[in-house]
């Protein structure tokens, strides 16, 4: 059984069709990379799967494995999808002044606990739990007490996304350009975070522009998105070829 099954997905924003018939199936334990030129619809695809309210699904379906059953989630709110195991790592993480990072993470963690009927964690328990995740990401405790992403450097924001992912332990993680703007050390740390969570029960969709991320996280599939459609799918060797040859030959080929 798969974790995610997207069929003939069409979606638009403010009347403009951005996704024009996407098919994608992700099985447990798989890592899929999505590449493609700027503006091809990569972020849109991740947001539509995560349930961003600005995007309208006009055709097709998005099915998610919820408790062993494939269910259409296109009508679910974003927070319901998150509780059912979908995590979206933002290309541009949002700053939230006035809300501490640890408070933010505890809200989301407890929202998940409540959904699963588990006991909620109080502040102290949660801090202890979060602290166990910090070394993996080389983050200091100080980040927990600052306002969410406020004044964080680009790299710190991305690490913070991965920290949230580790805490929520999703079944499907959509990471939108989590590697962009990272130096090589930060990239290794982020990859380390992903690899530490990877198991045969969960899956990742990595949106990236750079093959170098894939040196540290081995993808099972690479897809190329162009103008709202997947124009090519292959194994990790496809990423290497794209690195050498760019996208033009593929775009030509798809015409």
Ligand X SMILES: Nc1ncnc2c1ncn2[C@@H]1O[C@H](COP(=O)(O)OP(=O)(O)OP(=O)(O)O)[C@@H](O)[C@H]1O
User: Per-residue string for binding with Mg ion, 36-55, x by CB under 5 A?
Assistant: ------xx------------
Burial of 199 (0-12, 13-18, 19+ CB in 10 A): exposed
Q: Does 99 bind other proteins (CB under 8 A)?
A: yes
Select from other proteins, Mg ion, ligand X, none the partner in contact with residue 108, using the beta carbon and a kind-dependent cut-off of 5 to 8 Å.
other proteins
Which residues are at the interface with ligand X (CB under 6 A)?
13-14, 16, 18, 36, 38-44, 54, 91
Q: Check if the beta carbon of residue 35 is closer than 8 Å to that of residue 102.
A: no
Indicate the residue among 42 and 133 with the shorter CB distance to ligand X.
42
Q: Which of residues 125-164 bind other proteins (CB under 8 A)?
A: 148, 164
52 binds, among ligand X, Mg ion, other proteins, none (CB under 5 to 8 A by kind): other proteins
Q: What is the rounded end-to-end Cα distance, in angstroms, of the chain? A: 33
Hey, what are 113's tokens? 């606990």
What is the closest distance, in whole angstroms, from the C-beta atom of residue 54 to ligand X in the complex?
Answer: 6
**Residues 163-192 vs other proteins: string with x where CB under 8 A?**
-x---x------------------------
Q: Cβ 38 to ligand X, closest distance in Å?
A: 4
33-61 b/e (C-beta count within 10 Å ≥ 16 → b): bbbbbeebbbbbbbbbbbbeeebebeebe
Residues 83-122 contacting Mg ion, CB under 5 A: 91
Q: Give the CA radius of gyration of the chain.
A: 18
What minimum distance in Å lies between the beta carbon of 209 and other proteins? Answer: 22
Q: Which stretch binds Mg ion (CB under 5 A): 34-42, 214-222, 224-232, 235-243?
A: 34-42
Is 178 an interacting residue with respect to Mg ion (CB under 5 A)?
A: no
How many helices (H) and strands (E) are present in the chain, helices listed first?
9, 12
Q: What DSSP line would sit under 21-89, residue for residue?
A: EEEEEE-TT-EEEEE--TTSSHHHHHHHHHT-TTEEEEEEEEEEEETTEEEE-TTS-HHHHHHTTEEEE
**170, 156, 177, 166: which is closest to 129 by C-alpha?**
166
- Within residues 61-90, the interface with other proteins by CB under 8 A covers 77-79, 82-83, 87-88, 90
Task: Closer to Mg ion by CB, 42 or 133: give it.
Answer: 42
DSSP conformation class of 107: H
Expressed in percent and rounded to 5, the helix, strand and coil fractions of the chain are: 40, 30, 30
The contact set with other proteins (CB under 8 A) reads 50-54, 77-79, 82-83, 87-88, 90, 93-94, 96-99, 104-105, 107-108, 111-112, 115, 148, 164, 168
The residues binding Mg ion (CB under 5 A) are 42-43, 91
């Amino acid at each position: 059984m798969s974790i995610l099954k997207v069929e003939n997905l069409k979606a638009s924003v403010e009347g403009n069709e951005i996704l024009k018939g996407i098919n994608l199936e992700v099985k447990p334990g798989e890592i899929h990379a999505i590449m493609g030129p700027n503006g091809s619809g990569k972020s849109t695809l991740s947001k539509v799967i995560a349930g961003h309210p600005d995007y309208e699904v006009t055709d097709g379906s998005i099915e998610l494995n919820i408790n062993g059953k494939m269910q259409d989630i296109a009508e679910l709110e974003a927070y319901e999808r998150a509780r059912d195991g979908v995590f979206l790592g933002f290309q541009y993480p949002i700053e939230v002044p006035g809300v501490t990072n640890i408070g933010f993470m505890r809200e989301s963690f407890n929202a998940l606990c409540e959904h699963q009927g588990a006991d909620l964690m109080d502040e102290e328990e949660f801090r202890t739990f979060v602290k166990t995740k910090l070394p993996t990401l080389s983050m200091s405790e100080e980040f927990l007490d600052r306002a969410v992403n406020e004044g964080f450097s680009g790299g710190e924001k991305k690490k913070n996304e991965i920290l949230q992912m580790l805490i929520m332990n999703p079944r499907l993680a959509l990471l939108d350009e989590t590697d962009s703007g990272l130096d090589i050390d930060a990239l290794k740390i982020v990859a380390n975070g992903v690899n530490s969570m990877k198991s045969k029960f969960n899956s990742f969709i990595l949106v990236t522009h750079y093959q170098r991320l894939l040196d540290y996280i081995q993808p099972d599939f690479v897809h190329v998105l162009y103008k709202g459609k997947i124009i090519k799918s292959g194994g990790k060797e496809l990423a290497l070829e794209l690195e050498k040859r760019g996208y033009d030959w593929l775009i030509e080929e798809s015409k």
